[in-house]
Amino acid sequence: MEKLLVILTFAGALLALLFAVFNARKVLKFSEGTDRMKKISLSIRKGASAFLKRQYKIVLIFFGVMFVLLGIMAILGLLTPFVPFAFVTGGFFSALSGYIGMKIATLSNARTANACQEGLNRGLRVAFSAGSVMGFTVVGLGLLDISIWFFLLKFVFQLDPRAISSSMLTFGMGASSMALFARVGGGIFTKAADVGADLVGKVEAGIPEDDPRNPAVIADNVGDNVGDVAGMGADLYESYVGSIISACALGVSAFGSLSAMALPMLLAALGVLCSVFGTFLVRTKEGAGQKQLLRALSRGTNFSAILIALASFPLVYFVLGKENQTIYFAILAGLVAGVLIGQATEYFTSDSYKPTRNLAGTSETGTATIIIGGLSVGMLSTLLPIVIVAICVLVAYFVSGGAGSASMGLYGIALAAVGMLSTLGITLATDAYGPVADNAGGIAEMAGLDQKVRQRTDALDSLGNTTAATGKGFAIGSAALTALALMASYIDKVKSIDGGSAKIANLNITNPTVLVGLFIGACLPFVFAALTMNSVGRAAQSVVKEVRRQFKEISGLMEGKADPDYASCVDLCTKASLREMVMPTVVAVIVPVIVGLILGCAGVVGMLAGATASGFLMAVFMSNSGGAWDNAKKYIESGVHGGKGSDCHKAAVVGDTVGDPFKDTSGPAINILIKLLSMVSIVFAAIVVNFSIL
Amino acid sequence: MEKLLVILTFAGALLALLFAVFNARKVLKFSEGTDRMKKISLSIRKGASAFLKRQYKIVLIFFGVMFVLLGIMAILGLLTPFVPFAFVTGGFFSALSGYIGMKIATLSNARTANACQEGLNRGLRVAFSAGSVMGFTVVGLGLLDISIWFFLLKFVFQLDPRAISSSMLTFGMGASSMALFARVGGGIFTKAADVGADLVGKVEAGIPEDDPRNPAVIADNVGDNVGDVAGMGADLYESYVGSIISACALGVSAFGSLSAMALPMLLAALGVLCSVFGTFLVRTKEGAGQKQLLRALSRGTNFSAILIALASFPLVYFVLGKENQTIYFAILAGLVAGVLIGQATEYFTSDSYKPTRNLAGTSETGTATIIIGGLSVGMLSTLLPIVIVAICVLVAYFVSGGAGSASMGLYGIALAAVGMLSTLGITLATDAYGPVADNAGGIAEMAGLDQKVRQRTDALDSLGNTTAATGKGFAIGSAALTALALMASYIDKVKSIDGGSAKIANLNITNPTVLVGLFIGACLPFVFAALTMNSVGRAAQSVVKEVRRQFKEISGLMEGKADPDYASCVDLCTKASLREMVMPTVVAVIVPVIVGLILGCAGVVGMLAGATASGFLMAVFMSNSGGAWDNAKKYIESGVHGGKGSDCHKAAVVGDTVGDPFKDTSGPAINILIKLLSMVSIVFAAIVVNFSIL
């Protein structure tokens, strides 16, 4: 049984990675186009690589320090000796996911632009294949990491199930730390460059977006790759692995056996297969319009979702037996919830629906009203997702037998998250091709290609926005469920430590330490959002000054006679974002330990619950406000309310600029934050149990 | 003992009310100035009265429906027969507090302007006396209501302590409902008029603030009175009464005796005395500067606070005996926490400190950056208050013996809130005089008084902003503590119902119904903020259109030859705000019942905890963002970053406009919301216990 499990999970990993290679080869066969295009693509690639390398150096210091710290704890007997190594592995694979995604994205941007010269469909194929590389790399590496560690812990070191799952949670912490660095660092980079380029280029100098005269234009395109691609890759690696290992851990405490641990792993492996099948449906006839393309993408993701919904029914039967068949409905609830949250997200942020259209209308009375309007759209949009998650939690809990045994119910909640992410291979592919298309548009503009090409890349990009909404639904929904599962894992962990049970005996919500923890936890996403927004603001201001300087000092720049100094902007963004990314991550790692040492384990549980609730709300609020502003601006650009250049458009541009750090830096980072808090709490549980004041 | 209690509380009420009358007579002795000033003041008074009368008509329908509903429940035996009457009384006194405050404020605005002709100090005396009328009316009516009901329930109907406190909680619900109507309705009115007047008058037509040619200028001044005065009066009546009765209720369940119930009532009565003494210190020599005035105000509030801190030590000794003397430190913790939160608020929102000054600097790079900056200042500013409240909760809980008996600890938390609000008489006076000074400035402008007068009213107004920060600290801090106390009261209430204990047996934070309740509760402040902001937006847009119409259609208006139609703007704001205020309040009343019927009592407790945590954060965030933007604008107007009329100033004006609904509508309303949710839950507890699904 255990051997079969390792083999199957490993096979899933292998399938995903091979499929990624297959797609990568497909992409690389396409031509990069003219020399100018190659040159632009190369400088983007160089900038992105340079950023990541410097980022990894800083991250390495963090991981080094943590490794030593965890090592000392292991020597003192507070942790198993595998923990420091697992921690580092998680970070390594998370970084690798981001790196490979970035690499293929920067190799595909010019190719996509070139393919768009021939037709929309051909462009889609290149971009989507690039997205698939990313999607399947993430799930492949995730499963690889899990299967290797499982193999080592089970067969080489022969640990019992509880020790296995506990050690495996540590590489979740490594992955989460890395993901936070990647999301925050990349997010600050991309938004600083974007805001800087827009504020001086578009608003002050009056030149179009992606104009080669803008010194920040390369930085802007580099940003798409390090933020939206590398950041997202690391982020989703973390989500994927986090959901699986937290389900494994809860499975062990619910069933005490390896089979409950096997289910999430096999479900994920099966999901790879379903995703691969799905990708083959993403193709249309030549000459297809935008609507048909969207249908092609949805067909792929929907098919994969239905496939896994069907296939997991017998899977539950074989793994857990007939008496636990109802647990299947927890998986199903997760899948359905993911789709529904995606649809709710789309309703609030797409310009096909009332909220965003009305938001565009508020620009008629000026900037202040569109800002107020966007904030309230975002806040209002939290209601549906929270109700969906609430129903999903209750269903998953009770169908899994939570009424009889709480740990069974919690296992069900964790499985819902795994179900939601099981087809990540394809959902991430439809999400990740967006930035590639965005970059292709930039290259088309800078290389002076036909307007038609830009229109096609824009069509791909806007298509990507719609599919990204679904992707966001899965990411946010799974984050909430995984965070709840990790909270339960934390409680298990504390109970397994000598003297821990007493520390956690009173988790009653009226216990003041739980309540105080709840308050402080709920505050963390607010503080975290403030820190990251400030970082973007500071970094953007330095870019603004540099771009202004270049416009002033480089003569002939505006006339197109001299080249701007792109590299200095890239360098500036790199430095600024690396400087700014450290603080938020360190806060996220230190706070749970401090809260634990003061308030004790019950306070930590309160903190995790508070951070999960308010973090979920803040993430949805900020992502959707940002999305609605973005699309309201695009809607106005399509010709309503005076169209491009009108006062309404100017107001909408301000909204979009405010929304940028909302949706691409703070919002997604909060998703990671809530899980990292739990992972850190789990890893340092022994210290808190032994040394806390309360 | 009980008779003495009634007599002392009644004496406190009487003292407060007499002192209010004394101050009112003092104010009315001053002259209203020229005929023009009288006329302007009269039209503001008429507009405000007309609004309140129409508001009360709508509120009456709501109270009528609720009275019938509660009456039916009482007949069915689900409630004591006093509940419907107590509910209505609470609403009545809350409305009366607002009405008297509005009345005296509109009678004092012209008098303040006129007094400012003679000097700053004289102006302060009129305005502060008007504020005192409001402050002492609120506490006087609060204590009157409490002492009358206590007298009736104890001596006429001879109920036992538990039934007394339970019935008294119902007039808290009445007061909260009324307060929410007043805050939301008044808040929408004032901000719609303000935004409408500013957007068309200042931005489009380029005429100064409070220019008599602006058709919305009277509506704007009416708004200050119905929102900032009448709304605040009803709001703080609710806070004051809510904190006392929740402490009474918890006292009964902790001690089972009337003496624990007496302590909060006597503490409040003693607070009146201390506040009266404090007001006599608010005076300066003629010719005093702004700094000396501020010192005079602080001297008054600080003296009162120290007095109550000293006086409550023996009070605890006499009422609860030596063995419970440590409970005194809970009261002290509340007082100190209130002051500290006020200072934290001031730090983040006053232009004497770095955050607001830096925020003003972000206007250099445009509107988007000052919006992002203001949002992050507000979010970051949640950290200190939450830590202060957390420490206060822990201290209050443990010094009151919470480690031995949870209900003792919870009683301590409730007493901390009472301690915080015990000197409300004077803190509210320093808070409420601000809108009077604001109005006086408007009258000075419209009546064409000397520029010197306007400068003096502005000085008073800006002084008011600083003292208001302290007031806000008390309001927000006490709301969180009171909400926690009410949550505990809810649990007590459920346990006292047949079959209730079973429903509430598992309040473990990992119980999925508690968790789901927590998620939904945390979502409510977001949704509520969105609803109220949208309401302001819609109402403001209709004002904008009307003002634009008048500028276009009334010939000679801009030249000052024709008068604008002020009444139509007032009427429009009235209609719009009354239409918009119903929905948020009804939501607040219905949601706890629906959540209860689906999730059961444990879900309700989760909901209350979630709403308290996220509501506290949202209230602080929104109030402080708004305050920081407001003062950043004023800071720029003082001459930095280009001063008035510069691009930076324009960006700051947008920030201020976004901040208006933040700080004056949504933020304060959330404070009421979190308590109303608990009160509604308590009143309908019997229905939930008997009919809930889970």
When pLDDT is averaged across residues A610-617 and rounded to a whole number, the result is 96
Packing angle of the helix pair B406-421, B451-496 (nearest 10 deg): 160
What are the tens digits of pLDDT across the range B297-347?
Answer: 888 888 999 999 999 999 999 999 898 999 999 999 999 999 899 889 989
- Nearest to A672, CA basis, from A184, A21, A66, A43: A184
- Between CA B420 and CA B247 the distance in angstroms is 13
- Between CA A192 and CA B375 the distance in angstroms is 17
> Cβ–Cβ of A654/B372 closer than 8 Å?
no
Task: Tell whether the model's pLDDT for residue A417 goes beyond 90.
Answer: yes
When pLDDT is averaged across residues B284-309 and rounded to a whole number, the result is 83
> Cβ–Cβ of B382/A523 closer than 8 Å?
yes
User: Hey, where are the domains in chain B?
Assistant: 2-691
Structure tokens at B465: 């902003």
Closest partner CB to A365 (pick from B513, B533, B541): B541
Q: How many CA atoms lie within 13 A of B329 on its CB side?
A: 16
The type of residue at B430 is T
The type of residue at B278 is G
Look up the ipTM and state it. Answer: 0.94
B189 touches B227 (CB < 8 A): yes
Give the model's pLDDT for residue A645: 84
Largest CA distance in chain B: 78
Closest partner CB to A523 (pick from B203, B386, B531): B386
What are the tens digits of pLDDT across the range B73-126?
Answer: 999 888 888 889 999 999 999 999 999 999 999 999 999 999 999 888 888 889
Structure tokens at A435: 């930035």
Closest partner CB to B512 (pick from A393, A512, A527): A393
Cα A297 versus chain centre, distance: 20
B595 membership: H or E segment, kind and range: helix B566-637
Contacts of A343 (CB under 8 A, 6+ apart): A470, A473
Where is average pLDDT lowest: A176-180, A486-490, B199-203?
Answer: B199-203
Nearest CA distance, B655 vs chain A (angstrom): 7
When pLDDT is averaged across residues A5-18 and rounded to a whole number, the result is 94
Q: Radius of gyration over alpha carbons of chain A, in Å?
A: 24
Q: How far is CA A194 from CA A378, A541, B265, B647, in A?
A: 22, 11, 59, 22
What are the tens digits of pLDDT across the range A256-282?
Answer: 888 888 899 999 999 999 999 999 888
> Cβ–Cβ of A520/B484 closer than 8 Å?
no
Closest partner CB to B609 (pick from A398, A515, A544): A515
> Cβ–Cβ of B509/A507 closer than 8 Å?
yes
Helices and strands, number each (H, E), in chain A = 22, 0
What are the tens digits of pLDDT across the range A621-675?
Answer: 999 999 999 999 989 988 889 888 888 999 999 999 899 899 889 998 999 999 9
Closest partner CB to A510 (pick from B371, B383, B488): B488
User: For chain B, how are helix, strand and coil distributed in percent, rounded to 5?
Assistant: 85, 0, 15
- Nearest to A181, CA basis, from A234, A236, A142: A234
What are the tens digits of pLDDT across the range B499-533?
Answer: 888 888 889 998 999 999 999 999 999 999 999 99
Rounded to two decimals, what is the model's pTM? 0.94
Residues of A in contact with B508 (CB under 8 A): 507-509
Give the model's pLDDT for residue B340: 92
Structure tokens at B625: 């963002």
Largest CA distance in chain A: 78
Residues of A in contact with B380 (CB under 8 A): 526-527, 530-531, 534
Task: Tell whether the model's pLDDT for residue B146 goes beyond 80.
Answer: yes
> Cβ–Cβ of B507/A512 closer than 8 Å?
no
- Between CA A230 and CA A221 the distance in angstroms is 13
What are the tens digits of pLDDT across the range B215-268?
Answer: 888 888 899 889 888 888 888 999 999 999 999 999 988 888 888 888 999 999
CB neighbourhood size of B448 (10 A): 10
Q: How many CA atoms lie within 13 A of A645 on its CB side?
A: 3
Give the model's pLDDT for residue A561: 83
Task: Tell whether the model's pLDDT for residue B685 goes beyond 70.
Answer: yes
Give the model's pLDDT for residue B124: 87
Give the model's pLDDT for residue A364: 87
Q: How far is CA A178 from CA A94, A147, A578, in A?
A: 6, 20, 13
- Between CA A602 and CA A608 the distance in angstroms is 10
Contacts of B236 (CB under 8 A, 6+ apart): B97, B138, B424, B428, B475
Residues of A in contact with B614 (CB under 8 A): 522, 613-614, 617
Contacts of B425 (CB under 8 A, 6+ apart): B16, B19, B132, B135, B136, B138, B139, B271, B272, B275, B276, B278, B279, B304
Nearest CA distance, B398 vs chain A (angstrom): 9
Give the model's pLDDT for residue B424: 93
- Nearest to B585, CA basis, from B240, B246, B234, B242: B234
Residues of A in contact with B534 (CB under 8 A): 373, 376, 380
Nearest CA distance, B383 vs chain A (angstrom): 6
Query: How high does pLDDT run on average in chain A?
Result: 90
Residues of A in contact with B378 (CB under 8 A): 530
Nearest CA distance, A512 vs chain B (angstrom): 7
Give the model's pLDDT for residue B469: 72
Q: How many CA atoms lie within 13 A of A227 on its CB side?
A: 34
A-interface mutation test, from B250, B526, B587, most A Cβ less than 10 A away: B526
- Nearest to A216, CA basis, from A198, A234, A231, A232: A198
B464 membership: H or E segment, kind and range: helix B451-496
Structure confidence at residue A287 as a pLDDT band (50, 70, 90):
low
Nearest CA distance, B403 vs chain A (angstrom): 10
In three-state form (DSSP H/G/I as H, E/B as E, the rest C), the secondary structure along B5-38 is HHHHHHHHHHHHHHHHHHHHHHHHCCCCCCHHHH
Give the model's pLDDT for residue B286: 67
> Cβ–Cβ of A368/B654 closer than 8 Å?
yes
Helices and strands, number each (H, E), in chain B = 22, 0
Q: Which residue of B has its CA nearest to A530?
A: B376
Closest partner CB to B394 (pick from A488, A516, A609): A516
> Cβ–Cβ of B519/A367 closer than 8 Å?
no
Nearest CA distance, A195 vs chain B (angstrom): 9
Residues of B in contact with A378 (CB under 8 A): 530
Structure tokens at A670: 């909060």
| Highest mean pLDDT out of A121-130, B605-614, B662-671 | B605-614
Nearest CA distance, B368 vs chain A (angstrom): 5
Structure tokens at B535: 């309401």
Closest partner CB to A199 (pick from B365, B616, B661): B365
Nearest CA distance, B386 vs chain A (angstrom): 7
Q: Radius of gyration over alpha carbons of chain B, in Å?
A: 24
A592 touches A684 (CB < 8 A): yes
Residues of B in contact with A529 (CB under 8 A): 376, 379
Task: Tell whether the model's pLDDT for residue B622 goes beyond 90.
Answer: yes
Q: How many CA atoms lie within 13 A of B215 on its CB side?
A: 27
A519 touches B616 (CB < 8 A): yes
> Cβ–Cβ of A380/B409 closer than 8 Å?
no
Packing angle of the helix pair A451-496, A328-349 (nearest 10 deg): 140
Packing angle of the helix pair A161-196, A647-661 (nearest 10 deg): 150
Closest partner CB to B613 (pick from A402, A413, A519): A519
How close are the terminal C-alpha atoms of chain B, in Å? 44
The type of residue at A9 is T
As to burial, measured by CB atoms within 10 angstroms (0-12 exposed, 13-18 middle, 19+ buried), residue B556 is exposed
∠ CA B439-B634-A538, rounded to 5°: 145
Give the model's pLDDT for residue B77: 85
Q: Which residue of B has its CA nearest to A621?
A: B526
Sign of CA dihedral B181, B187, B190, B195: negative
A263 touches A161 (CB < 8 A): no
Q: How far is CA B507 from CA A197, B495, B600, in A?
A: 52, 13, 11
What is residue B655's three-state secondary structure? helix
B-interface mutation test, from A191, A363, A372, A377, most B Cβ less than 10 A away: A372
> Cβ–Cβ of A379/B527 closer than 8 Å?
yes
Q: How many CA atoms lie within 13 A of B360 on its CB side?
A: 27
Nearest CA distance, B14 vs chain A (angstrom): 37
Q: What percent of chain B has pLDDT over 90?
A: 55
